[in-house]
Amino acid sequence: MKLRTRLDHRTTMEIQRFLRARQAELTESMRSAVTRRCATEGSRPADSAVWAAETLEDEIQVALIERQTRVLAQIEAALERLDLRAYGYCDDCTEFIGLPRLRALPFAKRCRDCQSRAELCARPEMEALAVVSGLRMRREL
């Protein structure tokens, strides 16, 4: 059986507080971004150069909102894992991720090894390399 390092209560509360603060901050920033977008809607000048610039700005806004939505989803997932006492364990190998990594990346779902393997596998051209390095790692064990 694997030894499961536990997060102590104080650390759990600390992480939860951090996640909730970040969640509130993001929700607020998204709300004001949406409000701003609605406020500028309909007041566009007819000039096409300005239109283009605004469109680019719009695109940046949309990209930003999409990114924030993704982060919010990650925060919600992390809070859920905290509730279920599953927080801090790697999705792939179920090992404890480790406090230094969790402090740096509070939404981390994988340990460093599994994360880099997952990232390699996400890129098709790197898949072969992941297989090779996986084999090498196994041999070193």
Which DSSP category does 96 fall into?
Answer: B
CA 37 distance to own-chain centroid: 25
Among 90, 102, 106, 109, binds Zn ion (CB under 5 A): 90
Binding segment (CB under 5 A) for Zn ion, from list 19-27, 47-55, 57-65, 87-95: 87-95
CB 67: neighbour CB atoms within 10 A? 11
Among 11, 18, 65, 92, binds Zn ion (CB under 5 A): 92
Binding segment (CB under 5 A) for Zn ion, from list 26-34, 55-63, 91-99, 121-129: 91-99
How many chain residues bind Zn ion (CB under 5 A)? 5
> Which positions touch Zn ion (CB under 5 A)?
90, 92-93, 111, 114
